[in-house]
Amino acid sequence: MHVFVTGGTGHAGPYIISDLIAAGHEVTALARSDAAAAAVSALGAEVRRGSLEDLDGLKQAAAAADGVIHVAHRQDLIPTGGINAVAAAELQIMLAYGEALAGSNKPLVTSGSIGSPGWEGLGRPATEEDPPLTGGDPYSNTLRVRNVVETTVIGLAAKGVRSSVVRIPEIMHSTTDNAGFLPLLIGLAKAKGIVGYPGDGSNRWGAVHARDLATVFRLALEKGAAGRNWHAVAEGSVPYRQIAEAIGSRLNLPAVPIPPDVLMLPGYFGFLANLVKLDTPALNDITRQTLGWEPTQPGLFADLDNGHYFPADR
């Protein structure tokens, strides 16, 4: 299969490209800069120079391919428009793919999110059959504005696109993780001298190794049904306090509860204050059974010992 991939130089992208090529697929990856072109070429992918702003170019690339995996985002919009602007741009990209792939039954696999405030009222772990957010205008909630994007992707199934969404948990870890939640939380702990957790820390997060995540994208591309969500979550119910204690033990810093009120929590966590409170356990049964996915990489706590997150010289 000839696959068009965006986001090939992000955290997940190189793992996705490598997994596709190892499985015998041909990959063409979008590259905006010379550095990005060199990086995806080194992975064995063909390079298509362009940008996410060029919707016609994206449509042409999608139409020429046998399938699309899209994991790129307009990060350049965050300083001026925030996450709402990113989501608005993403929506236009999804609609462009829909035009290019309508009636083809070609796969379109995009990234989504496990964490959702709307799921906290479920009273159970979320499954692949749960919608991205229950109730409310998704654009009014800065934590889940991409709900409309995920809903649009699923809706493309009605137009003859084998579209699906791979939901990613809060923590995607690997030896190349430089900008995810773990580096942020580790940096925060070093700056504060303690490792904070919200309240009693019983709220739960999910985690997955980037290499295992890449396999979900490939399997969804190869055999995933249209209009489905997939949960790329290897560990779906990790208490936040355990994450804090693991970081603290490796930094030799105390793990300390932070009162979850409007003053104390933002005082420690800053812009992460709302996110760290989320309690979003999730299951992966449908993904495992339907796609035949089995995580094989180190778990979260094993990966914290890989030498990358806590190098000896820092």
CB proximity list for 38: less than 8 A, separation 6 or greater? none
Q: What are phi and psi of 249, to 5 degrees?
A: -65, -30
Neighbour count for residue 261 (Cβ, 10 Å): 10
Q: What is the pTM of this model?
A: 0.93
**Strands of the sheet with 26-31, listed across from one edge:** 46-49, 26-31, 2-6, 67-70, 107-113, 162-168, 228-231
CA atoms within 13 A on the CB side of 78: 6
Q: Name the 3-class secondary structure at 5.
A: strand
Please say whether the dihedral angle defined by the alpha carbons of residues 34, 37, 42 and 47, taken in this order, is positive or negative: negative
CB 114 within 8 A of CB 169: yes
CATH number given to 2-172+210-234+283-296 = 3.40.50.720
pLDDT tens per residue, the chain (314 residues)? 999 999 999 999 999 999 999 999 999 999 999 999 999 999 999 999 999 999 999 999 999 999 999 999 888 887 887 777 888 899 999 999 999 999 999 999 999 988 655 566 677 899 999 887 644 443 344 445 667 888 999 999 999 999 999 999 999 999 999 989 999 999 999 999 999 999 999 999 999 999 999 999 999 999 999 999 999 999 999 999 999 999 999 999 999 999 988 677 888 999 888 889 889 899 999 999 999 999 999 999 999 998 899 987 45
